[in-house]
Amino acid sequence: MRKQVLLLALVAILLVGLITVLSLPTGEAAEKGETIVYVMGAEPHKLDPPNQVDNMSETVVRHIHDNLVMFDEKLNRVPGLATSWTVSKDQLTWTFKLRKGVKFHDGTPFNAAAVKYNLDRLTNPTKTTRRTALYAPFIKSVEVVDDYTIKIVSEKPFGPILAHFAHGAGGIVSPAALEKYGDDIALRPVGTGPYRFVEWVPGDHITLERNKEHWGGVPKVEKIVFKFVKEDASRVVMLETGEADLAIMLPPIEIPRLEKNPKIQVIKTGSIRVIYIGMNVQKKPFDNVKFRQALNYAVDKEAIVKNILRGMGSVADSALAPGTWGYSPTFKYKYDPARAKALLKEAGIPEGTKVKLWTPEGRYVADRAIAEAVQGYLSAIGLNVELRKWEWAAYLSTLAKKPEEAEQELFLLGWAPSTGDGDWVLRPLFHTDSFAPKVNNYTYYSNKKVDELIVLGMATADQKKRFEIYKEAQKLIMQDAPWVFLHNMDQTVGVKKGLKGVVVSPLELVLVRSASFK
């Protein structure tokens, strides 16, 4: 009898539980326990907004942090932690009204003092960040007007100021967390964003969970797991088997087959990323402009776009990609191996000269295959090319050395300005003051005239005049050839059918901040 009573009680409990679940609104039930598995080709480097220098890191950073000003998917500047802003007639004073009632993930209140703390950190001349150059040149002072009003004063007008605040480096970090963790904030990020940091298992994954107090509303998905899988084929298999909900950097050769899969949506779109082979112009024979131009004529970029990328890109005709503000087409180095050999002879480069070519694997679409193709083209004009593949984080660390310590000769990289503005291509990559490790001029390229144009463009408020300044700078850089100018990269993203709200930005960022399962 006692067993029967216990059994009936158990059945009653199960029925009540079942009725409770069935009575929940569909959306609420769906939100419980859902996880987006997001597969990327390389592991992030750092999760500290002003110290991250790669899109893998920025992708994760933008889910954890909010900016004063944010980009929408068309790169329009929209309110974020700042609800509105005004600028004085002389273009020197910007006043931002801040969002009220916002808290950082550690419970610290967001206010004007927190913004000033972050901006003071970004412009600190004694302890610079990797992105200090984004802000220090135009911020003269930061003033707290009241708890929710901040005033920023510049010495000169600065055309792309709002775009710079929308850059990933502008993510606002908890001052309390910065005081607590110091440089380790790169491993323990604390922002105000829709997702909070949970764990980072090196070599495997990063896990985020939703911030139920986010000012933009509670995210519909409970967790995001960013998994690091450098092999193209493995990312494709994970997408096909359902192990991944989203995969980026899909190999172009697989796109036609994936498009026929009824369970997968393939997104193909452009980006403002230029892929290039950088050259260390401080090393011989790369200090010789004829040698650098020869390498440009030696590589068949049209064939790379057609055969390796399957048309998913376009041959670069500038250091800026179309879609970047300030882009002006200059000219293309057409495939001409005979001219390349003639230039090598003029430069006094003997046949069999050894050069090192480095590449990441899994960071960019078909990066390894492209590097192998370049190796073949350079070998065909008589060079002895040693190819080395790198893990992404180690690659960035090795490139970011002083000129006298640098080991790189030829290296495959890409650049997409996360401001959408040409200033943040020309200044970090080609200005003399931007030599690594300070900023991102890994080629150590220096041209006095280009420096003058970059500085002039930065301080010119008239957009038409800025455009002409940048146009001239692009021509000079193309002629000096510190890169082998390869292609403008298209994006290929695979998404499980039913995952909605994925934003594929021209900045080469794929965001799921507001994504949900249908």
Can you tell me the distance from the alpha carbon of 340 to that of 320, in angstroms, rounded to the nearest whole number?
24
Question: Which residues are CB-neighbours of 132 under 8 A, at least 6 positions away?
Answer: 50, 122, 123, 124
Place of tokens 């992030």: 44
DSSP string, 468-490: HHHHHHHHHHHHH-SEEEEEEEP
Alpha-helix residue ranges (DSSP H) falling in 217-336: 232-241, 255-259, 289-298, 301-303
Q: What is the pLDDT of residue 24?
A: 34
Mean pLDDT confidence for 199-205:
97
| Whether the predicted pLDDT of 11 surpasses 60 | no
| Whether the predicted pLDDT of 181 surpasses 80 | yes
Residue 403 identity (one-letter amino acid): P
Mean pLDDT confidence for 489-518:
96
Q: What is the pLDDT of residue 1?
A: 41
| Whether the predicted pLDDT of 5 surpasses 70 | no
For residue 308, give the DSSP letter: I
Can you tell me the distance from the alpha carbon of 309 to that of 348, in angstroms, rounded to the nearest whole number?
34
User: With bands split at pLDDT 50, 70 and 90, how would you rate the model's confidence at 165?
Assistant: very high
Token representation of residue 191: 């922002």
Residue (of 223, 257, 222) closest to 239 by Cα position:
257
Question: Which residues are CB-neighbours of 468 under 8 A, at least 6 positions away?
Answer: none
Reduce the secondary structure of 313-373 to three states and give it as a string: EEECCCCCCCCCECCCCCCCCCCCHHHHHHHHHHCCCCCCCEEEEEEECCCCCCHHHHHHH
Q: What is the pLDDT of residue 6?
A: 37
Q: What is the pLDDT of residue 454?
A: 96
Mean pLDDT confidence for 289-297:
98
Can you tell me the distance from the alpha carbon of 210 to that of 194, in angstroms, rounded to the nearest whole number?
6
Q: What is the pLDDT of residue 462?
A: 87
3-state secondary structure of 116: helix
- CB–CB of 170/163 below 8 Å? no
Considering the chain, what is the average pLDDT of its residues?
92
Residue 290 identity (one-letter amino acid): K
Mean pLDDT confidence for 6-28:
37
Q: What is the pLDDT of residue 14?
A: 37
Q: What is the pLDDT of residue 459?
A: 85
198 membership: H or E segment, kind and range: strand 195-201
User: With bands split at pLDDT 50, 70 and 90, how would you rate the model's confidence at 72?
Assistant: very high
List, for residues 209-233, the tens digit of each pLDDT value.
Answer: 999 999 999 999 999 999 999 999 9
What are the CA-CA distances from residue 258 to residues 251, 265, 292, 363 (Å)? 10, 8, 39, 20
Q: What is the pLDDT of residue 249?
A: 92
Mean pLDDT confidence for 304-323:
97
User: With bands split at pLDDT 50, 70 and 90, how would you rate the model's confidence at 17?
Assistant: very low
Mean pLDDT confidence for 87-104:
96
First to last CA, the chain: 48
Share of residues in the chain with pLDDT > 70 (%): 94
Q: Which fold does the domain 274-489 belong to in CATH?
A: Dipeptide-binding Protein; domain 3 (3.10.105)
What are the CA-CA distances from residue 92 to residues 152, 456, 506 (Å)? 8, 16, 29
Neighbours of 217 (CB within 10 A): 9
207 membership: H or E segment, kind and range: strand 205-210
- CA quadruple 245, 251, 254, 256: dihedral positive or negative? positive
Q: What is the pLDDT of residue 13?
A: 37
3-state secondary structure of 435: strand
List, for residues 449-469, the tens digit of each pLDDT value.
Answer: 999 999 999 888 889 999 999
Q: What is the pLDDT of residue 514?
A: 96
Domain boundaries, the chain: 36-40+193-270+491-517, 66-186, 274-489
Residue 253 identity (one-letter amino acid): I
For residue 110, give the DSSP letter: P
Neighbours of 338 (CB within 10 A): 9
Can you tell me the distance from the alpha carbon of 171 to that of 9, in angstroms, rounded to the nearest whole number?
54
Q: What is the pLDDT of residue 33?
A: 58
What are the CA-CA distances from residue 302 to residues 309, 335, 470 (Å)? 10, 8, 26
Least confident of 28-37, 70-79, 311-320: 28-37
List, for residues 355-391, the tens digit of each pLDDT value.
Answer: 999 999 999 999 999 999 999 999 999 999 999 999 9
| Whether the predicted pLDDT of 4 surpasses 80 | no
User: With bands split at pLDDT 50, 70 and 90, how would you rate the model's confidence at 120?
Assistant: very high
Domain 66-186, CATH among 3.30.70.100, 3.70.10.10, 3.90.76.10, 3.40.1000.10 = 3.90.76.10
Q: Which fold does the domain 36-40+193-270+491-517 belong to in CATH?
A: D-Maltodextrin-Binding Protein; domain 2 (3.40.190)
Q: What is the pLDDT of residue 374?
A: 98
| Whether the predicted pLDDT of 10 surpasses 70 | no
